[in-house]
Amino acid sequence: MNSTYKSLFEEFTFKSGVQLKNRILMAPMTNFSSKENGVVSDEELSYYQIRAGGVGAVITAVAYVTRDGKGFVNEISADSDEMIPGLKRLADTIKGEGAKAILQIFHAGRMAPPELLEGGQSVSASAVAALRPGLVTPRELTESEIETIIQGFGDATRRAMEAGFDGVEIHGANTYLIQQFFSPHSNRRTDKWGGAIEKRMTFPLAVIDIVKATVKEHSKTPFVVGYRISPEETETPGITMEDTLTFVDTLAEQDLDYLHISVQDFWQGSMRDENDKKSRVLMIHERVGDKIPVIGVGSLHTPDDVNEALDTGVPLLALGREMIVEPKWVEKVEAGEEETIATTLTKDDQERLVVPDGLWSPIMNTPGWFPVVEKD
């Protein structure tokens, strides 16, 4: 190994006691590859297996916790005990290659495509439509329905534990239901679940509480509980950085193992003010990094990029698209073969990269998403 990259391979121990062999995680990325009923598929297992050998942990594609929260075609399900055997195969596959296995869990809320829902009706904090074509105006959740979804997060956590996962990541980012409750755009409620910022934290904190209570009740070994957050929204009204810094102050006191900051680029500035160039990841790390570990992510393509990000003091970094383009990214750095890391792919690389059909199609058909080049 090139000694320049020694810091990438330092061990890290979470508050829960779970230890990572290095500072690199595979970021959660939807792969549209489970069976229609949410059961993990064989091609999904192959996709994870080839990528789980080098990273310290794999955070899976997101799994829905209740049926009305399904957000993607062929998405993993954690909504019933029938899913446990498939989830166990996934956890065993990841752990068998040497990485810790973390199941990301969520409810899509108003971002759920109507064609994936029974009756075609999505739900959310309030009946406010998302600004995205193809979606319907959601129905406002009742108090009892909110409690049912919260319980769904607890039940999904138990299933993850029974399946052998090392942790769960609560997906409170990317405009899905947990974020919808925190956002003044999507949450116009006047009961205990909405209003001032403290009340808009009520749902996310209730989800964290039930996940932690489930871990306490069922855990036989250390188990990670992480939380993913998006720093800002473009809508008005919408989540501002000031809102988020207030929120992370509270999250830092929740006995979580980490905060995972969801951005497109580690160095990305404000979505709301183009003159504000300061990295949102670093702002959160500087605010609460002494209380809770931050996972940074976003456009860290090379070992030098990762090194530069680690030099900021952010202790953990997740690689997303980089792990699709180069499944052996970490192994190559560790072996001193960083010059052979692939940074592009061609339309003929699907089989070599072990990418399921459900993911390969959008990679090929979404211009600018991946560095697709013509074959030499």
- Taking only the tens place, the pLDDT of each residue in 291-306 is 999 999 999 999 999 9
Q: Hey, what are 65's tokens?
A: 């916790």
Q: Please say if 47 is a catalytic residue.
A: no
List of residues 6+ apart from 323 with CB closer than 8 A: 26, 27, 51, 55, 329
Residue linked to tokens 């399946």: 163
Q: Based on the number of CB atoms within 10 Å of its own CB, is 235 exposed (0-12), middle (13-18) or buried (19 or more)?
A: middle
Residue with the two structure tokens 């001193």: 336
Average confidence score pLDDT of the chain: 97
Task: Summarize the confidence of residues 209-225 as an average pLDDT.
Answer: 97
Which of 97, 87, 128 minimizes the C-alpha distance to 111? Answer: 128
Q: Where do the domains of the chain lie, and which CATH numbers do they carry?
A: 3-365 (3.20.20.70)
Say yes or no to pLDDT of 181 above 80: yes
What span, in angstroms and rounded, lies between the C-alpha atoms of 166 and 258? 14
Which runs of consecutive H residues, i.e. helices, occur in the chain?
A: 42-49, 84-96, 143-163, 177-182, 197-200, 202-218, 241-251, 280-288, 303-310, 321-325, 329-334, 350-353, 357-365
Catalytic residue among 47, 64, 176, 258: 176
pLDDT of residue 35: 97
Q: What average pLDDT does range 72-98 have in this prediction? A: 98
pLDDT for the residue 375: 81
